[in-house]
Amino acid sequence: MPTHETTDASDRQIPFDALRAALDRRFRIDTRSLAAIRIALAGILLVDLLHRAPYIELFYTDSGVYPVAAYETTYSQFAGVSLHALSGALWYQQLLFLIAGCVAVAFLLGYRTRLVGVVSLLLLVSLQARNAAVLNGGDRLFRVLFAVALVTPLGERWSIDALRRGSAGASVRSFGTAALLVQPVVVFVSNAILKHRGETWYAGEAIELAMANDAMTILLGNVLVDYPTVLAVLTYGWIVLLAGSPLFLLASVGRFRTAAVFAYGSAFVGMALTMTVGLFPLALTASVLPFLPASFWDGLQHRVPEAWRDRRPDATVLGPLGRPPLERRALASLRTRNGESSVSVLLACCRSLSTALGLLVLVWILLFSAATVGGYDVPEEVDYEHLDQQRWSLYAPDPGEAYNWYVPVAHLPNGSTVHATEGGKPDFDRPPDAAAEYETFRHRKFMQAVRRDSDDELGVTATSYSEWVCREATETQGTSIERITIYRLYQPIPTNGTDGWEEPSKVTMIEYDCSIG
């Protein structure tokens, strides 16, 4: 009888062990993959800073389109969030950009990884909060991915921290790694559900419509727009990748998972080559790197020449940086004074805190995504539109059916008119490349905010922009400007091919008297 009871317990244990092993294979991340996403995140930070740098004065100073006074009035709930809003001086913004760049380099190298990662995230949030009008969903996706990644040991491999420790773990599994793997999948699935509510994606027409949006289409997109059959295939393929991500990414292992990562990466590269959508392709590519299994890195390592494999640096090459990390020195001192038991208790508390934090992040991702898809309202206490939501609504539920560009016109004292910021005669014809009407996608996003802010009467953002246009026109023309008019050109996208283009509609968006500015 006792033997029979033991057998039953053993039989029940086998399925549980198999389930646990299956979950372990799918949610355990190779630390080389964590190093890859750390390097990718740091690289995106640097790319973002370099992309914004030429327009620091325009978007982040008091002499630009969005002074600190406009920020404080428009987003009063963020008044204490942004370090960048403490001053509207150009030198101050340049200093913060320089500090952010240096910290990002330290993060890339894995020097005090978690500390510099947190500092980088805080500076990123500060920068994004300073001028939320220039953000798109890619900025939000990047910020959330960065925050989630910080609950995992990003500095475990390929880092200065690893050299200083003298050891590195091969893989890790925790609530934090689960959150990092689940985050892109819930974003993809949520986006697939939102697209299902539209009419064009599951009909195979969406990407053709998106490519016809000349204000966002670039490079390869300008070629593909003439091949509707190819675009229909790409539309269905994209939907399959989005809706099938739980199967392709989470449920898969080994070579199939590696192939899936490269399939998603190829789609993201295609996005970067066809549409001007900011950080979207970079953030999405980084988000799938943790899915790369150990077999991928082992295979890659075998392709490295044998002579290079033996050239593994140690802490001695770091010089003064080779000293053990501060926390290890503190633990050694504590061990000497209070014994091993006190250190064990402290480490256990830290592990418990890390586990709880990872669990909270995982729950946060799932709840926000469920609220977005289900249409439920998030409690006001945690509902910050620009700072923490999981929503990704690019071209969902359907791509837009028109695009816009804007022409600011200055009225001179002699009664003539000129283009306010460029000089010369204003041109209201449809441009051969509408995307070229915007210097960057952030200029396009800001003008969308100005348009929204001028629908009924001029708000703070529209007024600040108008005042800037007056100053630019005065400087360009070398004479006083009586008033400006900002026109919005509205171009419907044809549904019957390139022969169906209509003439753009010209709408007076803003009339502003420069003398009151």
State pLDDT tens for residues 256-296. Answer: 999 999 999 999 999 999 999 999 999 999 999 999 999 99
| Token pair in block for residue 300 | 């890659």
Which tops the pLDDT comparison, 3 or 69?
A: 69
Domain boundaries, the chain: 24-382, 402-516
Q: What is the DSSP letter of 246?
A: I
End-to-end Cα spacing for the chain:
94
CA neighbor of 140 nearest in space, from 191, 211, 102: 191
Grade residue 386 by pLDDT with cuts at 50, 70 and 90.
very low
pLDDT in tens, 222-262: 999 889 999 999 999 999 999 999 999 999 999 999 999 99
What SS3 class is residue 411? strand
Of the chain, the percentage scoring pLDDT greater than 70 comes to 78
CA neighbor of 65 nearest in space, from 55, 51, 80, 77: 55
Q: What is the DSSP letter of 137?
A: H
Of the chain, the percentage scoring pLDDT greater than 90 comes to 51
371 has pLDDT over 70? no
Q: What is the mean pLDDT of residues 13-28?
A: 80
303 has pLDDT over 60? yes
Q: Which residues pair with 217 in a beta bridge?
A: 275
User: Residue 108 to residues 36, 94, 140, 329, 451: CA-CA distances in angstroms?
Assistant: 10, 21, 21, 24, 39
CA neighbor of 179 nearest in space, from 20, 29, 296: 29
Residue 311: predicted pLDDT: 58
What SS3 class is residue 448? helix
pTM of the model: 0.88
What SS3 class is residue 510? strand
Question: If residue 270 lies in a helix (H) or strand (E), which one and from where to where?
Answer: helix 254-274
CA neighbor of 154 nearest in space, from 303, 279, 32, 28: 32
User: Could you write out the DSSP letters of every residue in 69-125?
Assistant: HHHHHHTGGGTTT-GGGG---HHHHHHHHHHHHHHHHHHHHTSSHHHHHHHHHHHHH
Q: Which residue has the tokens 């990047």?
A: 142
Residue 34: predicted pLDDT: 96
Which residue type occupies 69?
Answer: A
The C-alpha atoms of residue 251 and residue 396 are separated, in whole angstroms, by 26
What SS3 class is residue 496? coil
Grade residue 450 by pLDDT with cuts at 50, 70 and 90.
very high
Q: What is the mean pLDDT of residues 306-322?
A: 60
Q: What is the mean pLDDT of residues 298-302?
A: 86
C-alpha gyration radius of the chain: 27
372, 403 contact by CB (below 8 A)? no
309 has pLDDT over 80? no
208, 265 contact by CB (below 8 A)? no
Residue 22: predicted pLDDT: 79
| Residue 168: count of CB within 10 angstroms of its CB | 17
User: Residue 118 to residues 77, 113, 122, 146, 517: CA-CA distances in angstroms?
Assistant: 22, 9, 6, 9, 41
186, 365 contact by CB (below 8 A)? yes
Across 86-100, 273-287, 326-340, 439-453, least confident range? 326-340
The C-alpha atoms of residue 152 and residue 29 are separated, in whole angstroms, by 10
Q: What is the mean pLDDT of residues 354-381?
A: 60
The C-alpha atoms of residue 100 and residue 127 are separated, in whole angstroms, by 10
248, 263 contact by CB (below 8 A)? yes
Q: Is the backbone of residue 82 left (phi > 0), alpha (psi -120 to 50) or beta?
A: beta
pLDDT in tens, 158-197: 998 888 887 788 899 888 898 899 999 988 998 898 888 8
pLDDT in tens, 37-60: 999 999 999 999 999 999 999 999
| Strand intervals (E) in 341-415 | 402-411
Burial letters 434-467, b for 16+ CB under 10 A, else e:
bbebbeebbbbbbbebbbebbeeebbbbbbbbbb
Which residue type occupies 107?
Answer: F
415, 506 contact by CB (below 8 A)? no
376 has pLDDT over 70? no
pLDDT in tens, 59-100: 999 999 999 998 888 866 556 678 999 999 999 999 999 999
